[in-house]
Amino acid sequence: MSYSRLKNLAIAALILVNILFLTVIVMDSVDDARIERQAIENVCTFIRNAGIMIEPENVKTGGTIRTMRTSRGGETEAAIALAILGPTVMTDLAPIYQYENETRGIAEFASAGDFEIQVYNGVITSSGGALRVVQGILRNMKLETAGLTVSSGNGSEIVTAISAYRGASIFNCTIDFIFNDGDLQTVRGRYVTGVEPAEDGSENSRAGTALLDFLSAVRNEERDDIRCTRIESVEAGYLHSVVLPFGEGVIAPIWLITTDTGRYAVDGTTGEIKPF
């Protein structure tokens, strides 16, 4: 048998082994997902029997969510300013960075990811629909978001975007695009950049565990701040917090539980529950 044929057979064998290995991984993942979904259905039945309405399909498990570190990203700030103001002149007023376009507006970025952009009248209008306009701006900003909501009243329209990391919402990092009389006038909020695994980070708890912790809090007579008769949604995601004054922080895993009485954050590591 020739050397080239032996080589081809060896390569084919390696490919086959890899395919079999990936098949096992996929099957294990499918089995894990099926087991977790069944566990969620069982927990939801238990919660309904306790007098709280909940539907299993309203529980979103998400992917792997673990504690991550964040840091300030100057390139992201510049991209955000460029998407709205066009070319700008940057002034370093550390820890504030200021970007200005004399004919379009001015932006200020703080180290923790908080920012505000004032846009001059007539620069960006909602003639194509405020939601469509914001979707285009977000694409140019290159920021990941998990969803958009629109509210209006008294001549103003606000489109709110929730920041995200790899498909999971960062619930306390939102960006508001505020239109008045058809003009985009203000963009403000918080975003995160420089995300990388935390050395001492931990993964989020299971959805069933979070729900049972929440049920225990609801039935705890010593906790009068957590009461409900219906759980409307359960979503895995993050909360952002600042650790150091120059932008260093963390996004930590939580479960956000929305009920008929309010929203609650269940710490994905400790199980601690707080109104959100």
Task: Give the pLDDT of residue 131.
Answer: 94
Parts of the chain with a pLDDT under 70: 1-32
| Coil vs helix vs strand at 134 | helix
Distance CA 146, CA 201 (A): 23
Question: Closest by alpha carbon to 103, among 125, 85, 78?
Answer: 85
- The secondary structure of residue 230, as a DSSP letter, is B
Distance CA 110, CA 194 (A): 15
pLDDT digits (tens, 9 = 90+) for 9-33: 454 444 444 444 434 333 444 456 7
d(CA 88, CA 103): 10
Sequence-separated (6 or more) residues with CB below 8 Å from residue 42: 208
Q: Which of 62, 58, 275 is nearest to 172 (CA)?
A: 275
Domain 72-193 has CATH 3.40.50: no
Buried b (16+ CB within 10 A) or exposed e, 91-122: eeeeeebebbbeebbbbbbbbbbebebebbee
The reported pLDDT for the residue numbered 29 is: 42
The answer to whether 197 and 68 have CB atoms below 8 angstroms apart is: yes
Say what percent of the chain tops pLDDT 70. Answer: 88
CA distance 202 to 206: 12
Domain boundaries, the chain: 3-67+197-275, 72-193
Tens of pLDDT, residues 97-145: 999 999 999 999 998 889 999 999 999 999 889 999 999 999 999 889 9
225 burial via Cβ count (<10 Å: 0-12, 13-18, 19+): exposed
